[in-house]
A = this chain, B = another copy of it.
Amino acid sequence: MDLLTLTLNEERRVTLTAVLQGTGGEYHKLTKRRPAVLVLPGGGYDYCSERESEPVALAFAKAGYQAFVLRYSTGAFKDWPNPMEDYEQAMELIRGKADEWNLWPDKLAVIGFSAGGHLAACGATIGRNRPDAAVLIYPVTTQESADMCGAGMPAPVEHVSASTPPCFLAATRTDMTVPVLDSLRFEQELVRYGIEFESHIYGYGNHGFATGDPYMNDTPVCARTADWIPDCIGWLEDLFGVPTFTGFEDPVCPRTVNADRADVLSLDCTVAHLLRQEGEAAELLTPVRSALDRAVAEYSDHGRNVEPLFRLRTLREMLRRIGFPAEDLGDLDDALKKIPNPEKA
């Protein structure tokens, strides 16, 4: 194992610490490359918290990741866009050294806490260098909270889009430094754009619970806060694939909840999206329309309105639910995939 500390900006005291583990040898196929995390500690842009730095990097390193900690511009140097530039520089450096440091440049998650969560959320929404997943722990996302960090800070919640990567959020209900609303509102924006996320809002505990270990906290904190790291590792494995001795298993969780903004049409678009297509797509869908119509009729007793389901369900899921024969679907999917999606991201 190597521990490197690289100075990214001497004047602003910006450093990147790297915890790099071996590859090949006993690890066989797996660690020709490893997945990676970049940790952005919190501290209100006044300082970078030790409690949210190495202890977090160590947990992911143990789980098989190359782990980095960025100590970005704070205090006298915190004015925007300094911290953002530090982030971009770190991401470029890490992906640029993917070969040397034996990591997958497309399995790189950023993990930010509080103000570092603000920076991570900025990276995920307005960064030139988007992470492959963003882990936001009691993050600042709204303008009001950003203003508590300093003037001129952007509000990442206002910049979520179809190009935002999947996100993992954790916070406590009783946070009295950054409101839990900063997490909830960010999640709502992720819903708007169909982005995958996972979220854990724990019942109580102070802002800054870090890893949730008892030695991290000087006030009572919900015991379940310590679950976020194993839960996050599980989620990243769902997204990136489980690292095993012989390589990565296939991911089980898609990065968007439907294909309404994909390049081409498919069964994974919502029913509503497909039904508003014209021309060839409409023609291809003729055989399933009657099945859908029958289903609608069936569901619509008692004045029930099923129309929202069409916006929620992919055609694949809708047809599965109504028992449409699965063997008839492969050809339809193939044919749809030849049609460009007019609403692609």
Contacts and interface: CB of A to CB of B under 8 A. Distances in A.
A164 interface: no
Given A176-B313, A176-B317, A304 B181 contact: no
B30 A308 contact: no
Interface in A153-197: 173-177, 179-181, 184-185, 187-188, 191, 196-197
B231 A314 contact: no
Contacts of A79: 302
Nearest to A221: B252
B203 A196 contact: yes
Number of this chain's copies in the complex: 4
A222 B181 CA distance: 25
B198 A201 contact: yes
Contacts of A1: 3, 17, 53-54
A216 B55 CA distance: 21
A50 B27 contact: yes
Interface residues on A, range: 35 or more
A150 B220 CA distance: 44
A214 interface: yes
Interface string A212-251: 0111111010111001000100110011001111100000
Given A148-B308, A151-B303, A198-B201, 17 more contacts: A1-B17, A1-B54, A55-B64, A63-B213, A78-B302, A149-B304, A150-B302, A150-B304, A175-B312, A176-B312, A176-B313, A179-B191, A184-B191, A187-B201, A198-B203, A215-B244, A227-B227
